[in-house]
């Protein structure tokens, strides 16, 4: 959460420009960050399969709060689309990938 907060606190003029790949890199960063966050939430919830939706919801709620925070940063704006599309999709993909490749077991 701290890493996400630090990236979104950077004013627009300090952000790197990736030329033609700028959108892909930045939106991919959204998806990666929120995928990892959702998997971390799920881990915190004991890998309980019934709590995957809660882990996703917590990640999306943090994404919404972070977009609100970003609206106060010079040159940046809040984007509902970032939350609805990239952040929420990244959270779903993160939980799915974690469940497929690592097959976590519920914690005692």
Hey, where are the domains in the chain? Answer: 25-101
Structure tokens at 12: 């627009």
Query: 105 pLDDT exceeds 90?
Result: no
Longest Cα separation, the chain: 48
Render pLDDT for 57-96 as a digit per residue (tens, 0 to 9). Answer: 999 999 999 999 999 999 999 999 999 999 999 999 999 9
Structure tokens at 30: 């959204």
Give every CB contact of residue 93 below 8 A, 6+ residues apart in sequence.
31, 35
From residue 14, give the alpha-carbon distance in Å to each of 18, 19, 34, 67, 75.
Answer: 13, 15, 22, 18, 10
Query: 103 pLDDT exceeds 90?
Result: no
């Amino acid at each position: 959460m701290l890493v996400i907060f630090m990236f979104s606190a950077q004013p627009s003029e300090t952000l790197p420009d990736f030329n033609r790949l700028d959108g892909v890199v930045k939106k991919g960063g959204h998806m990666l960050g929120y995928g990892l966050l959702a998997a971390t939430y799920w881990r915190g919830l004991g890998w309980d399969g019934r709590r995957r939706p809660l882990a996703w919801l917590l990640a999306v709620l943090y994404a919404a709060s972070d977009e609100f925070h970003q609206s106060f940063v010079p040159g940046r704006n809040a984007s509902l689309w970032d939350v609805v599309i990239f952040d929420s999709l990244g959270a779903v993909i993160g939980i799915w990938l974690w469940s497929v490749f690592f097959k976590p077991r519920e914690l005692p």
